[in-house]
Amino acid sequence: MTEKEKLLAGEIYDATDPNLMAELAVARELIFDYNALRPAEKQKKLEILKQLLGFVGDDHVIINQPFFCDFGKNIRVGCRLLANFNLTILDEAPVTIGDDCFIGPNVGLYTACHSTDPVVRNSRQEWAKPIRIGNNVWIGGNVTILPGVSIGDNTTIGAGSVVTKSIPAGCIAVGNPCKVVKYLSDKD
C-alpha cells in the first residue's frame, strides 16, 4: 500500500511521505488564495472550495475566512453550510458535514492521531479516524471535535465543548468532555 492508501484506510502511515507532502502543498496554495479573496468575491470563493474540497453540496455553502485544512479532498460538505471565522479541519481521514449545518467561530475538527510515546511520535508515524457531522447540526464557537467522533442529526454542541466521544441525534451536548444534557424530546 502507498502511504496515502494507508492514511485513507486508517492505518499507520508516514506523515513525511513526499507524495503526501506534495498534496499538502497544493492544498496550502488553494487555501492561501481562498483566504486572500475579498469578502465580496463570493463566486471565486465557491470556485476555490469546489477545487479544494472533495464535495460541496450546493452554491449556498459559506465558509468565512480565514479557513484552514490539510488536504481538503477528504472533506465533504452538504448543502447550506454556514461556517464562521477560523474553521480548522485536519482532514487526514474523511470529514463529512451534513446539510443545513452551522459552525461557530474558532472550531477545530481533528482526524489526525499521534502516539503518546514521544519516541514513536517523533518518528512521524500517524494514523487518522474519520469525523461525521449529521444534518441540521449547530456547533457553537470554540468547539474541538476529536478523531473518530460522529454527531447525530438535529444536535447542538455548546460553545467551548471538547467532543471526545460520539454524540447521538436530537440532543444538546456541552462541556469538556462533551456530554448530553438534554434530548429535544424532553419537556422543559
Catalytic residue ranges: 114
Amino acid 120: pLDDT = 86
Q: What is the value of pTM for the model shown?
A: 0.94
Domains along the chain with CATH numbers: 3-181 (2.160.10.10)
Alpha-carbon span 162 to 164, nearest angstrom: 6
Q: Hey, is 147 helix, strand or coil?
A: coil
CA distances from 87 to 124, 134, 140, 180 (A): 25, 17, 12, 23
Per-residue pLDDT of the chain (188 residues; tens, 9 = 90+): 999 999 989 999 999 999 999 999 999 999 999 999 999 999 999 999 999 999 999 879 999 999 999 999 999 999 999 999 999 999 999 999 999 999 999 999 999 999 899 988 888 899 999 999 999 999 999 999 999 999 999 999 999 999 999 999 999 999 999 999 999 986 65
Q: What is the DSSP string of the chain?
A: --HHHHHHTT--EETT-HHHHHHHHHHHHHHHHHHHS-TT-HHHHHHHHHHHSSEE--TT-EEPSSEEESSSTTEEE-TT-EE-TTEEEE-SS-EEE-SS-EE-TT-EEE-EE--SSHHHHHTTEEEE--EEE-SS-EE-TT-EE-TT-EE-TT-EE-TT-EE-S-B-SSEEEEETTEEEEEETTS--
